[in-house]
């Protein structure tokens, strides 16, 4: 039971770390892009950013709900 809690905490921690790096990278890129006033490129970066977020959420969902069986007490994870 404690192992499940540890894995949940590490998943949440790594997700927050990943999202913070993605947000930082996106805002630095957007800052330099908006300085150049090329809004079309900025629009594509915003689109790519949302696709990255969507992929991360789907990947975390797959990791937590498909590969880990929460009801199995003999699960090593």
Q: Report pLDDT for 3.
A: 60
Mean pLDDT in order along the chain per 10 residues (77 residues): 65 75 78 71 75 76 62 55
The two structure tokens encoding residue 72: 């199995």
Q: Where are the domains of the chain?
A: 2-66
pTM score, two decimals?
0.38
Q: Report pLDDT for 71.
A: 56
* CB count in 10 Å sphere of residue 11: 14
Apex CA 61: angle with CA 4 and CA 75, to 5°? 30
Q: Report pLDDT for 1.
A: 52
């Amino acid at each position: 039971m404690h192992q499940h809690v540890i894995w949940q905490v590490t998943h949440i921690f790594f997700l927050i770390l990943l999202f913070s790096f993605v947000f930082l990278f996106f805002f630095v890129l957007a800052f330099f892009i908006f300085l150049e006033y090329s809004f079309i490129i900025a629009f594509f970066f915003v689109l790519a950013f949302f696709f990255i977020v969507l992929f991360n959420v789907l990947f975390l969902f797959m990791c937590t709900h498909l590969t880990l069986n929460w009801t199995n007490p003999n699960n090593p994870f």
